[in-house]
Structures are given as C-alpha cells and as structure tokens.
Amino acid sequence: MIQAIKGTRDILPEESGKWQFAEATARRVFRRYGFREIRTPIFESTELFSRGIGEGTDIVSKEMYTFSDRGGRSLTLRPENTAPVVRAAIEHNLFQRADSERLYYIGPMFRYERPQKGRMRQFHQIGVEVFGSVEPAADAEIIEMSTVFLRELGITGTDLAVNSVGCESCRPVYRERLRGFLAPRLDELCPDCRRRYQENPLRILDCKAGCRRFLDGSPTLLETLDAPCRDHFEAVRRCLEHLSVPHRVEPHLVRGLDYYMRTTFEVLTANLGAQNALLGGGRYDRLVEDLGGPSVPGIGFASGLDRLILSLPAGAGEATAGPDFFVAVQGPGSFDQALRLVQELRRRGAWAEMDSNPGRSLRAQTRRADQLRARHILFLGEEETRKGELTVRQMEGGTQWEVPASDLERLMGEVSRG
Ligand code: HAM
C-alpha cells in the first residue's frame, strides 16, 4: 500500500475547518494593517536560499529538499518564504509604492528535519513581510499584529521573546567575545558546534544538541550592540510598552537564519513540548540588496500553521451546523421535482441536500438528515406534490408546517428567521 511520505500528512475534512478558520483570521487581521497577499512558486533556484538564508545555517546545510530538474538546474523546495518574497519583489519592482509595501503569504514549506509533534517535513506557514521602513515603530507594529493574530485565534498563555542581534559592525565584536568565552570548553562542544565555533559562533546559541548548557554567564549580544543598534532596540521596546504588548528580552535569541539584523522575536507556547515556537521573525535590512535589489530594509515574521492548529482552543473552527435543508421524497412523482427544488435552494444560497437514489425509504432519508445535522427536512410526498406544497420540519423541536412549493422566497425567509 502506498502511504504518505514520512513528515507529511493529510489534512482531513474533520480538521480542515480549523485551517480555514486560522487562515481567515490571518486575512482579516492582516488587512487591517494594510497587508496584501502574494503567492510565489513552491520551488526556486537553490542559490536563492543558499545566498539568502546563509550557507552555514542548519536549513541550508542539511535540511533542504534540493534536486536537479531535467534541464540540469538545481532547484529547491522552499524551506521558508522570506527569500522568495524578496526575489519576487525585486523581480517585479514592488518597491515603488510611496509608503511601505506590506505582503503576506500562506502556504507549504519543506525542511528535512526529524519529524515529531509540531515538526513536519512539509509544514505550513502564514507569514508577513514589510519593506521600506527602518523605523522602530514598524518593528513594534508587526510584533503587535502578531499578538493580535494569536489573540483572535483564541490562543492564550503565550510568551513573547525579543532581542537584537545587532548589525554587521557590532556583531563581529560579539562573535569574538563569545569565542573567547567558549574557548576553554571547545573540546566539549558537539561536532556541529565545533564547526560553528569557527564559522559563526552565534549558531551555537541555537544548538539543538545541548551545547546551550555551556552558555551560562556568557556575554550577550545586547551588551555588545553599538549605539545606533542599542537606540533602535530601546525604541522598539518603548513602542511595545506604549502599545501595551507584554514581552521579555531574551538575550540569547538568535534565530536560525543569517539574514537577520537588529530586532528578532519569537512567540513561544508551553503546550507543544519541544517544538514551542508558534512564530518567529525579525528585521533583515540587507537582504534585498544582498539578493541584487535596491537598498530597501525589511522586517517580517512567519507562523507555523500546523502548530497554531495544535494550539487552538477546543471547538475553534469546528463546524457546528449541518445543511439548511434536507429534501426527503416519497413516491416516484416527487423525485424529479425534488431535484429541481434542491437546485433552486442552492441557487438562492442555501446548503441543500437530498438522496440521489430515488428508491431510498423515507426512514433512511430521515436518518441521513439526522446524521448530517440538517436544520430542516422538506418533505415532498405524493400528497404535497398534488397540493403544490412542501412540509417543513424543523429538526430542533420538531415543529412542522406547510408552505407553497412555489414560494421559496417565503421558505428562505421563515428559515432564516427561525
Ligand atoms: P522560522 O523561525 O524558521 O522563520 O519559521 C517560522 C515558524 O515556522 C516557526 O516559528 C514554526 O512555528 C514554524 N516551523 C518552522 N519549521 C517547522 C517545521 N519543520 N514544522 C512545523 N513548523 C515549523 C522563518 O521561516 C522566517 N522566514 C520568518 C520570517 C519572515 N522572518 C522574517 N520574515
């Protein structure tokens, strides 16, 4: 038997209501902040990610789904969508808008990670990117938006961690200090971190193999920020306080992508075990230029939809009602009339169903209406057909009444009032 690939899964109809709820909430909230949707391809040239995310990152060095197509091009299934959105923005010159360009996306991403609860190889992100502003108020605005998004999903008890990773002039200072601090314990680091020690010791702060235990008392990024980066971070924090967004400074928060500078942030939850990041993001003021575009700053975040779904409160996005009408027929003459009745009800916007087998017993049809949790049954028997009427039964309470079959307007009206 052929089964779904490890690390992927099917989202079945019982669950898809939750996904639609989360996506609709994102679209509704993001619109209030002026975001418009962008959809980019799910595969891109490999170089976009190796240059954009950074060769030394876990994502690029061991998690990408990379393959050659029949024309010999190296392609990669997108492991994230900031680099693709930047590529598209450069390609289509989206930086022309006088104010800042604000884009959001919803879709699948691919990383070859060890699957576990909340961690998939094909997972889904809802993300946003803002281009054109270096102002701390822009950082605070999208961080605030991320908290509104979670609140409107009904997700509570989250923890917002913020940090600044500085810029290319102050980060080297930190790198050296961290190397100095870790030098006496270099032999105890995991093999990956020994390599990271040489290439980019900041990655050690993100080690999943336990090297973080060596960081107690280590120097922090915040201590080494230069004056402009420190002022920027303080202004972001002041703005968050002004907007009443509770947050905590996490001096070791670096994030696993190289394009970040200055502000980084994550929202964590206690309910997901090890995979506790519901969303993460930050500022990337050099990325557009690094990928060949104009000098345009950017900031954004992405949220793992799979993790959001696991964190939704009970009942969120679950369908509560069934069809507006189930049309039950009795007798050969009624079936054809019922087909047209269902068609007409649907044209008027109602959810209407009937059994497509003309021979089904009335009992079986009523049982089906029950299973579907239909709100009303419309009976169309010999008697009704002759009188040109329909018998309406409200399933809840069992009230029953008659309406002229020609007056669907009235039927729809009565039903929407009921
Ligand atoms: P990221 O932190 O790599 O950032 O991913 C963002 C979110 O995607 C995570 O917080 C998590 O919720 C979810 N996620 C990541 N990997 C997996 C996985 N294997 N399974 C399930 N969920 C996962 C980025 O991707 C950046 N592009 C975010 C960004 C946008 N920064 C600026 N703009």
What are the tokens at 67? 């393959």
Q: Which is the closest atom of ligand 1 to the Cα of 59?
A: 3
8 Å CB contact between 298 and 285: yes
What is the pLDDT at residue 417?
59
pTM attached to this predicted model: 0.93
What is the pLDDT at residue 318?
86
8 Å CB contact between 143 and 265: yes
What is the pLDDT at residue 385?
86
What is the pLDDT at residue 98?
59
What whole-number distance in Å separates Cα of residue 131 and Cα of residue 86?
9
The predicted-structure confidence for 135-147, as pLDDT tens digits, reads as follows 999 999 999 999 9
CA of 178 relative to ligand 1 center, distance in Å: 26
Please list every protein residue whose CB sits less than 6 Å from any atom of ligand 1: 80-82, 111, 113, 118-120, 123, 125, 127, 129, 255-257, 277-282, 300-304, 306-307
**Which stretches of the chain drop beneath a pLDDT of 70?**
98-99, 417-418
Which helix (H) or strand (E) is 148 found in, with range? helix 136-153
What is the pLDDT at residue 130?
96
Q: Where are the alpha helices (DSSP H) in 281-354?
A: 287-290, 305-311, 332-347
Residue from 269, 272, 307, 308 whose mutation best tests the ligand 1 pocket (most atoms within 8 A of CB): 307
What whole-number distance in Å separates Cα of residue 110 and Cα of residue 131?
25
What is the pLDDT at residue 239?
98
Q: Where are the alpha helices (DSSP H) in 43-119?
A: 46-53, 58, 82-91
Angle between the N-to-C axes of helices 82-91 and 46-53, in degrees from 0 to 180, rounded to the nearest 10: 110
